[in-house]
Structures are given as structure tokens and as C-alpha cells.
Structure 1
Amino acid sequence: MAVIESLLDTQGEAYQNNLKVMSAAVDEFRGIERQVIETAQAKAPRYIKKGYIPPRERLSLLLDTGAPFLELSTLAGYMQDEDTDGSGAGGSYIAGIGYIGGVRCVVAVDDYLTKGGSIGPMGGDKRKRMLDIAMENKLPMVNLSQSGGGNLKLAGDIFGNSGSLFAKQCRLSAAGIPQITVVHGSATAGGAYQPTLSDYLILVRKQSTMYLAGPPLLKAATGEIATDEELGGAEMHSEVAGTNDYLAENDADGIRIARDITGKLGWNKHRPLRAPVTYKNPLYSAEEMRGIVPEDPKTPFDIREVIARVADGSDFLEFKGDVDKGTLCGHIEIEGYPCGVIANNSPITAKGAAKAGQFIQLCEQSGTPLLFLTNTTGFIVGTEAEQAGIIKHGAKFIQAVTNCTVPKITIIVGGSYGAGNYAMAGRGMDPRFLFAWPRSVVSVMGPAQAGNVLRQVAEAKVLRSGGELNDETVAFIDGLERETIADMEARSNALANTARIWDDGIIDPADTRSVVAFVLSVCREGDERSVNTNNFGIGRL
């Protein structure tokens, strides 16, 4: 046992201030989530009168009561594109990982109460991300569909790559991972292909419609006049076209059928049996993680305090602890299962990079998943660092992170700057899951440093052109520097990053252990599961 002895003074002034600031940041993102739900629910009564169940109630009917559900990318699209007040956060799409009849699934519900369920750029990216999660972790995917389709005002920016959403569906089917879709409302044009490319399709009588062109477009294009039901109603698709597989009587019945289908997949029949695992909880409260990160990001803190509140029994076997104390590597267990940890206490040095690269290879050898706890300004720079081979050793670190095949889980605790973001399994390195704490930052460099660099470039340009640094030019350069700093701060904070799906969601620091344990179990189950693949996916005949 190598138990971490916490030195965190939870009664001290610094801790209490950190706790206050972090709690306010947690309240901020939770408040945005509540605003989206409340704005949507205000529109629900008129749809309930028409027989529609509100999206989140549909989700509750679909999921097993009392079973865990991890919602993902709740703030996708926040203040992006046409979302001017934050009420469109989430991309008109409620998605996550939960249980249906004891089967762990990716679950996705179109939020038709948010902007009509229309799909903008970030909403499309969120949908793709869910398909990737289903593929990587061999999880069936269940969709409750009622979307207004692509946002036509923004289609010009996204259409060229929009087919990749359907391509991912096709590949998922060919990989032997089933997709089940209930169409609760209208599915038009491209929106009709999502349910039809699913392996199992459920339509609701007198409520679902699917067609490539609705009645108004049909009349304008050909002069033909047809009703919704004649053109693409649930009964027509069930009895005439043969597109549909199951005909439901209402919203709730469609969800019941989806649960029945999931239960009939036999998805768990080949799941390896595991002996019950016993483990010790951390010695320190998870709630204390809210007070670890200082208000001033320049103030250092010991990442061991986070490890002590994530690891079983706060037990951390450090690897090469006497070699570069700024990059920590070591073994822990989380809910009884082994996990390797790489974490930051300072910029990454040549020795730290080499140590981390070796440790990744050891975890690859033993099949041990990796947890990255990120708080780094990046790779250290300077003459001494260059002569120590920082580029060479940094490249080794990035090579190891990129090419290892064990699951990688990343938590951005503080800063994630420059190439340090790559080395610590940032989004570009395709970790299996990536989450961020509030107040975390992802950026090519610090805003102040970026502003100063541009200031130096601007000053040099003035002098090269024969000008002088008078009051006018200095005022202009001052403005440029301030604008650069403000712009980078706005684009690199946690809310801006999660809005662009640079992570799978912001989490409360207090939830870190439970979230990591959940996704590690998802990874473990997926890696052990065998599936029956085919070449072309299931054709709807």
C-alpha cells in the first residue's frame, strides 16, 4: 500500500476561497442546463394535448428506473451559431449512456421542444460523437426521433460533410451493433434516412410520417396533391411500402416496443461473467475536490490531492517518483479495477515526457486503461530544455499516447495548453472519453502570452517599415493586445470548449470518481464483447 496522505487544509482560507469560486462555476453550468430544460418544458403543454410525450419524459420511460444514466455534451452548441441566449445548448438532442432492460446502450432523444429539434452544426457533431461512442464501445443505440431536420439557414456551412452522419450509421450496422429508432413525429428528406438506416424501425399510428418530400414540396415540384398519411404515414409504410417494422399505437407504446426489441437482442448472453469485486472507497471526501484548484490559475497545486480522492483507498503506487516530479505516473484502482494515471504538477520536461512514454508502454503491455489528469502549460521551453531533447522526448510521449490501444480517459482539471494538450490525450488524440472541470482552459497558449507575442510582432513591423512607436501606434498596439487577450479568454474557457464538443461534457469535480468508474466499465465491457459483423449493414427489404 502506498496511501497518499492529503495535505489539503479544508478549513484554511485558501481552500474556502477555492471552494467558493469552483462551486459558483458548477452552479453556472448547472444553471444553463436548467435553463434549457425549463425553456423547453414551457412549450410542452400544447404538444401534450396532441398526444406527444415531452422528450425528457420519453427518456424516463425508455430507461430502467433507478439505473445510472450518464448524460453527455449537455452544453453542445451553447452560444454558437443562432443560440443567442443559451437556451439552445445541447444541440436539440438529449444523449448519453444508460440501461434499457439491463442492457447498456447509447440513448438519444430528439428534443423537439428546443428549436423544433432542428439540427445545427454542433448538434450534428454531437450526433456523430454518439455514433462514435456506440462504435468504440460496442453499445446498441436507441433513438427516439422527432426532429425538424437540418437547420436550413446553416445548411450551407455543413451540408458538404453531412453525409458522414449516415455513413457512421451504416458502419455501425455493418459492425454488428444494432440501432433501434422510434419515429414519434415527422421525418423528412435527409431526416427520413436516419430512422430508415437503423436496423429496427418503429412508427406510431396516425402520428409518424416519413417522406423524401412533404405535401407542399410535392405539389410545388410535380403538381401532385397527397395527404401526409398517403405520402408517408405510419400505416402506409407498414402495409404498403414495407419500410416499417413495428407499428405502435401511441408514443408510450413505441417506447415499449423499443424496450422489448432491446430485451430480445440477447445482448448480454455472451457477456463475460465477473466475480464480485470488493474495493475500499477513497480516504477523503469527493466533495473536497471542489476546493483543490486555486482561483488564480498561476498558483500551483498538487495533483496528488485529486488522485487521493479518485483512487480506491487513496492508494497510489507511483512510477519513477524520483525522476521529474512534475509529471506523475503510477498505478491505482478504481472500484476494484486497475488503472494507470498520468498527471501534471508542472510543465512537461524531457525527463517527464520520457517517463510518461515508458509508463504508457507498460500499461499497453498489461492491458491497463489510462487516466489522464491534465493541468499543464505545455512542454517546457528554453535553451536548456532544447539541449535536453525536449522535442525528441515530447514526440515519443505523443507517439505513445496516440498509438496505445488501451482505453484512454481524460479529465481536464486545470489548464491544457499547446502540445501539452496533445501529450495529455486531448480531443485530437481520440481518448475514449474526455471530460472537463469548470474553469478549465484549453488553448494553444495563455491569452496574456498570445497578446504579448502579437504586440512584439506589431512593434517589429512598425520599426521595420521605418515608422516609430509614437502615441498613436502604441495606442493601436495596446488595443490589439487587449483584443487578442479578450478573444482568447472567451474562446478557451470551459463553456466555450464544451460548446464546440471539445469534450464530452463539463462535470462537477465531486463527480469525477463516479464518472471515471462508469466510463471505465463501459470501455471494459466493450473491449471484451464480440459482435457478429457483416459487410454492408442490414438492408431494409
Structure 2
Amino acid sequence: MAIAESEAFKHNRATHLELIGDFRALEAKVLAASARAGPKFAKRGQLLPRDRVALLLDRDAPFLELSTLAGIGMHDDDGVENVYGGGVIAGIGFVSGVRAMVFASDAGIKGGAAHPMGIKKQLRVQDIAIENKLPYIQLVESAGANLNLQAEMFVEGGRTFANLSRMSALGLPTITVVHGSSTAGGAYQVGLSDYVIMIRGRSKVFLAGPPLLKAATGEIARDEDLGGAELHTRMTGVGDYLAESDADGLRQAREVLAKLRWDRCLPAPAKPGPRYDSEELLGIVSPDYRKPYDVHEVIARIVDDSDFTAFKAEYGPQTVCGHARIEGRELGIIGNNGPIDAQGATKAAQFIQLCCQSRTPLLFLQNTTGFMVGVEAETSGIVKHGSKLIQAVTNASVPKVTIQIGASFGAGAYAMCGRAFGPRFIFSWPNNRLSVMGGEQAAKVLTIVAEDGAAARGVEPDHAGLAAMSEKLIAQYEREGEALFATARLWDDGIIDPRDTRRVVVFCLDTCTEGDAREPARNNFGIARL
């Protein structure tokens, strides 16, 4: 008799199917509990949490959901009708071809409030991400901790913050999409993330929401003013990307991970050239550094498909940072649309650290008249923040390539990885000007100093002499600031045709990558001719 025909076989199979049916039915109740919030989410123009997860993941790629029945029969999960799965969704799947850990607040269940077993589930998936070196993506929308159960989660919950800090230090990128409120401890989940995407009109991040704020201090504030998406992407820098909807936020999360230099388990994307002709660079960029142009126009003519993912676009907008590819090679780009202010300096320093974490080479498109000056700049901490940017540039652990495409003046030339700051390669466009400041500014400074000195001595300044001095100094700065003057002294590695920028950058990046991967056989003596 065939084994499958025995009574024992049939009994075992039937029992197993019954057990499987039981736990699948409980899993279905978790889904149903969340789905009941569907009309409310639809009215707000939001996606349900599981729909968010599905939209984040690669279509038709495998997804291993973890701990689907965490907390069953515990606390307010009765294990019969009210089954919540810990109030969170977690699993390992593929996002833009990268195997990643995905963790999502199930805001369809009790507003995504944190529960003790949900915290334990979060800790477990963080441990898995750390042990298996997985990027960590959070989809956050939570009403905060269940205050009735705080004694069972408060102390241990602190480890979720510690784990986010450890993941970042270990080089595992953490990406957070804030779909709604993220209050108190949830705010730190956002603040401790490497990349933060916020939804206009929906994301709310604050240590104390309006009710708690009123109870604690008596202050009355609107939630949007207290911690809205526009506040955090424009003013505080807590948010890095501003999305228009849940779907747009998830698209941006996929794009961020796609642009990181991470191990890919699926084929790399195609390598299209820029959508715009490099010939146009000659017309877009003025040879006169005093006439501004938008560095985005330069980027669009050198990167693949003219596709650039800006980082903190609304924060310190005169300093442009973001991810792109050139001939399929991921790189971070830092460019200038004016002087570097305190926000721009902090943004660029943070971006450099992120690129070092993801092992992404840096391309500096240098066109700046320097750091912002003035009372407002000084009170905003420009010295402190500018110094941190210079430290980040100096100590960046990834290959750095600099193209000087306009003005390279003052400490701005340092902060944008000038010759003294160790770029692997540095080239100039023929229109570039390099000096401590512009000639007109230098002449004005010396004139003011001379006039003040004369006034202190009680004499009339020699205006004619000062005018002649200014004219001579301007001519000197004009001559000494020219690209030919700089390249003659090896302050760069050569002058290039702007239309060749893409080709030169690709060649430099390949040279750097090959060099970093190469392991020559060292010896203690050097080969002597004997």
C-alpha cells in the first residue's frame, strides 16, 4: 500500500491542514482589523499600511513577512476576534533590486499606537537587519505609545533608538517615510534615521503634540506649525525629501535606495545618456562668474537620463546635494547656486557622511563666491557649521572628484574640495576663477581699511592713490585668478572642455574604483637591480 493511502498519513495531513487553517485564519483577522480603517484612510487621501508596503516592494519579488501573530492573546489582543499582530508589519523583501528589512506602523489598528509586543517585534527585526547587514526601511505613522501599558515597554523601547544608531554606524542605511504623526519616541525614530521622507500636509513630527504641549506648558500651537512636513524640510532639516502623497513618498524611498551604492541582488538598470546635449553647457553657463546660473542645468547634462535625486532640496537651497549615476556608476553630487550659508553647510556635511556610509564617490561641481557673511550669517553659526563641512570634506573616506566650473573663492573653494583637501582628481573649466576673493571685493576691502586708517589719524584719504591702487589690484586678481594661471601651477590636474565633463568624470571614477579594489603584493625592500 502506498504511504499516502495509509490512515495515519491521512490523519496527519488532515490535522496539519487544520492547524494551518487556524493560524491562517488568525492572520486574516490581522489584515481585516487594519482594513476596517480603509474608508477613513481613503477620505484622508492615504493608503492603508499594507498597501504602502506592497507599493514599496518590487512587484513579483519575494517577501518574507515576520512574526505575523506577535502578541496574540496578550494585552488587548484577545487572540479570537481582536488580533493585531503587534500593531506593526515587518518582513524582508526587495526594494529597487536590493534585499532590505521593511518595518511599518499598522496605523489601521488603534492609530498605530505602540504596544509591548510590537516593540519586541521591532527589536527582533532590527537585530535581524544588523546581523544580516540589511538596509532598514521604516514606514511610520503612530499615535505614540499606549500609555496604559507604558511600564511594559518604556525601558526596553529605548533599545529601538540604540539599534537605529548602531545600524547607521555599521554602515546600514536607514530610510524612513513619515506617513502621518510620529510623536515623542516616534520623533526620535525619525531623527535617528539616515534619510527622511515627509508627506506634505500629513507628516507630523514633534516631541509633544498640541494636547501634551498645552498640558505641559499651556502653549497652544497648530500641529502643522509645531512639526509639519514643510517646517521640517525647509527650516529644521529633520526632513530630507518632501513628497506630495503616500505613493510619492514610497516612490522617493525606492529612488533613494536605488541611488545608494548597495549590493544588488537583481540586474542593474540600463545606462541611458543625459536627456540634454552636453553642447548646451557652452550656452547655459556664463563665462562671467558674476552672472549666476543654476547648477541643476549642468547636472542634467552630465548624469544618466538627467535623473538627479536632490537631498534636502528646500533646506539651504543655494547648496545643491543629491544622488545620480554616470554610466551606471552611483555618485553623490554637491554643487553651488550661490554662497554657502549655515543650512547649506550642515546639509552638505550630512550628505558627505551619508555617501561615506554607502561607499558612494563624491563629485564636487565647484562654483561659489564663498561662505555667507553678515550679522545673520554669523548668528546662525556659519563659522561652526562651515568648519564641520570642511572637516567632513577633509575626512571623507570615499573617492572625491572636483570640477571647478565657475567661481572658486575663499573658504568656499576649500569646503567644495579644492586642491588642498585631497580630491583624487581636480579639473577646471576654462572659465573658472580661483582666488581668495574677487578682485573688486579685495580692492574695496583694502580701500575701506585705508580710509578708516586715514580717519583714525585725522587726515584726508588719498582718493586718487586709492583708486589707482584698486585698479592695479583688480587687474592683478583678474590675471592671477584665471584658469591658465592656476593650471600652470598645478592647482588642478588640467583644464577640460565642459562638453567632456561626463567622459572625464567616468574615467576618474573607474580609476578610483579599480585602485581601491587592487591589492598589490607588498614587500619590505623594493625591487633592487642587483
Larger radius of gyration: 2
Higher relative contact order (CA 8 A, sep 6+): 1
